[in-house]
Amino acid sequence: MKHNHINLALRFTLVFFLTVGSFAGYGFHHFQGAGELTVTAASRGPVRAPHGMVASTSSIASQVGVDILERGGNAVDAAIAVAFAEAVTHPAAGNIGGGGFMMIRLKNGKATAIDYREMGPAAANRNVYLDQDGNLIKGEGSSTIGYRAAGVPGTVRGMELALKKYGSGKLTWAQLTEPARRLAAEGFPLSHSYAASLRGNSDLLAPYEDSKRIFLNNGKFFKEGELLRQPELAATFARLQKYGPNEFYEGETARLIAQDMKRHNGLITLADMHNYVAKEREPLRSTYRGHEIISMPPPSSGGAVLIEMLNILEGYDLKSFGWSSADRYHLMTEAMRRAFADRAEFMGDTNFVKVPVAGMIDKKYAASLRQTIATDHASTSAEVRAGKPPGYESEETTHFTVVDKDGNAVANTYTLNGGYGSGVTAKGTGILLNNEMDDFAAKPGTPNAYGLIQGENNAVAARKRPLSAMTPTFVLRKDGSLWFAIGSPGGPTIINTVLQVITDIVDYDMNIQQAVDAPRIHHQWLPDEIAYEPYGLSSDTKHALEALGHKLVSKPRYMGDAEGIMIEEKTGVRLGASDPRGGDSAAIGY
């Protein structure tokens, strides 16, 4: 089964019609009859496949993963090939110059988490991004732009660890990196959305010689349909094929990165590259209405914050409120507000600080938080925790999900942080470097690029891993079998995207595609406002929320790019869902 292609404009139209159905009161659960059929038809069905499925933000990478499954590889093999392919085809977020998290659930029920988050270089310290007056440095030299913004990349070590422990053994490292090498060498045609993305990020990329030459066509800009070839990146993958993962951290690639860093006053040294370690961690587990939830532990905040919100919401009969009702959005906002306040206060790298994860995901704690929520008026974030920062949102992370014929599953989220990371392509490597150091609290108590307040637990330190919102998650049926796997990009909106997909499925009986398509809201404690999507809230719902005391953003925006796979209960068919918000995303099965 090949790519089920739908034009992006049409796909957004489908979301619009899906939402209009809810405007008229035709919610998924409550309305029966012709109106329900209209809503169901407006959201295309998930892609169906009997054996294996890959859902990612790149149709090319999804096909690479399916090819690996058809050759006998398992879900982990396919995930590795997809990750490397997206380093070529989705350079805004796919990477080998960044890091992330891989959740794995094997057919025997064992679940594990691979942490390949970037690490702070040895030269990093609490004040490294502050000027002599103690203020945050802006522009070059800051935690967001240029050479000093990059943490030590973890993706290659993460893929190595996953392959060694959980690969099928049928395909080699060289075979899994070959599709990426070939794509980089031969090029791939740029979509309209990607050509526009490169042009739109020219201010970030143009100051750096290799970034300008490779991604901006030396200032001439690529047009839709033109091939993007990346010969230096192809050469890097060829070295990785020949010499294995150590080449990235100890060989020519590591030396090229370290030399370019030294020339431009960067923080990463050859010793930092040598010392990077990926880690296997125990996933967080909880339940929501009898369904087991398995998600990512720290240094991702995603799993703990997700579970805290689900625990709060479990105390309410959401189904009785209606999917698009102000009552539902009010309660979700109050849950989000409280969980994100805890995120700001407590979360960090557990190798450096004590994080009360067990307490945050405890159902008795959630019950105590519910007691502070009024159903007839909004809380204020000043009540929940003090502070009034500004903020904005970047969407540039990427998630993909894989399920193989045996039922092994991978949910993987990885990133460069901001779109195209720091803007720097390390000279001679073709590798875009992350700006992940901004996910530390560069100045505790001051908002980062996502508007998130972060405390002392997430202060910058050498060899420390910055806090993340990435939330790759599995949800099980009540019999313990895999029901669906989900994740998304979107900075702090990641956690709330996953939350809403889960509740849309569990509470409102949506299928995986309907839940991925459905409009979303977001609240992150500070700034104290509800973000929502275009056409996502009716005027009546907005007025009702404002009457409760909620503040809505002045300009709506689309949030996330969820990629999920569900297992159909009676048939075992894989149901793939790609997000209409992603211009090139695709679920492909066989």
**What are the DSSP calls for 288-322, one per residue?**
ETTEEEEE--TTBSHHHHHHHHHHHHTTS-HHHH-
50: exposed, middle or buried (C-beta count within 10 Å: 0-12, 13-18, 19+)? Answer: middle
Query: E-strand spans in 356-507?
Result: 397-403, 409-415, 425-426, 431-432, 473-476, 482-486
378-403 burial by CB neighbour count: b if 16+ within 10 A, else e? bbebeebbebeeebebbbbbbbbbbb
CB 562 within 8 A of CB 28: no
A 10 A CB-CB count for 4 gives 17
Element (H, E) at 497: helix 493-508
CB 291 within 8 A of CB 307: no
Q: For position 395, what pLDDT does the model report? A: 54
Q: Which one-letter DSSP state was computed for residue 137?
A: P
Dist CA 135 CA 370 (whole Å):
38
- Among 13-17, 150-154, 217-221, whose mean pLDDT is lowest? 13-17
Q: The tokens 């090139």 sit on which residue?
A: 584
Alpha helices in 509-551 (DSSP H): 512-517, 539-547
pLDDT higher than threshold 60 for residue 21:
no
pLDDT higher than threshold 50 for residue 69:
yes
CB 313 within 8 A of CB 289: no
Residue 69 DSSP SS3: helix
A 10 A CB-CB count for 344 gives 24
Q: Which one-letter DSSP state was computed for residue 478?
A: T
Query: E-strand spans in 320-462?
Result: 397-403, 409-415, 425-426, 431-432
Dist CA 74 CA 60 (whole Å):
19
**CB within 8 A of 456, min separation 6: which ones?**
441, 444
Q: What is the pLDDT of residues 273-308, one digit of tens each?
A: 999 999 999 999 999 999 999 999 999 999 999 999
Nearest to 514 by CA among 21, 47, 40, 55: 40
Phi then psi for residue 202, to 5 deg, are -65, -35
Q: Provide mean pLDDT across the span 242-254.
A: 98
Q: Provide mean pLDDT across the span 496-515.
A: 98
Q: Regarding predicted confidence, which is higher, 448 or 510?
A: 510
3-state secondary structure 359-374: HHCCHHHHHHHHCCCC
Cα separations (Å) of 264 from 260, 261, 458, 551, 589? Answer: 6, 5, 26, 44, 45
Dist CA 99 CA 155 (whole Å):
5
Dist CA 505 CA 382 (whole Å):
33
Dist CA 180 CA 79 (whole Å):
12
CB 397 within 8 A of CB 93: yes
Dist CA 62 CA 52 (whole Å):
11
CA pseudo-torsion sign 320, 326, 331, 336: positive
Place 351 in a pLDDT band, splitting at 50, 70 and 90: confident
Alpha helices in 71-154 (DSSP H): 75-89
Q: What is the pLDDT of residues 356-376, one digit of tens each?
A: 899 999 999 999 999 999 999
Dist CA 343 CA 300 (whole Å):
10
Report the percentage of the chain scoring pLDDT > 90.
Answer: 78
Residues with a known catalytic role: 397
280-297 burial by CB neighbour count: b if 16+ within 10 A, else e? ebebbbbbbeebbbbbbb
| Helical axes 302-313 vs 493-508, angle rounded to 10° | 40
**CB within 8 A of 390, min separation 6: which ones?**
447, 451, 527
Dist CA 528 CA 462 (whole Å):
33
Q: Give the CATH fold of the 283-393+469-564 domain.
A: Serum Albumin; Chain A, Domain 1 (1.10.246)
- What is the chain's mean pLDDT, rounded? 89
CB 76 within 8 A of CB 167: yes
Q: What is the pLDDT of residues 204-213, one digit of tens each?
A: 999 999 999 9
pLDDT higher than threshold 90 for residue 317:
yes
Place 449 in a pLDDT band, splitting at 50, 70 and 90: low
Nearest to 209 by CA among 264, 166, 163: 264
Dist CA 472 CA 293 (whole Å):
11
Single pTM value for the model: 0.90
Dist CA 577 CA 10 (whole Å):
16
Q: What is the pLDDT of residues 138-172, one digit of tens each?
A: 988 888 999 999 999 999 999 999 999 999 999 99
pLDDT higher than threshold 60 for residue 31:
no
Nearest to 515 by CA among 526, 499, 504: 504
Q: Provide mean pLDDT across the span 507-532.
A: 96
Dist CA 589 CA 55 (whole Å):
9
238: exposed, middle or buried (C-beta count within 10 Å: 0-12, 13-18, 19+)? Answer: middle
pLDDT higher than threshold 90 for residue 122:
yes
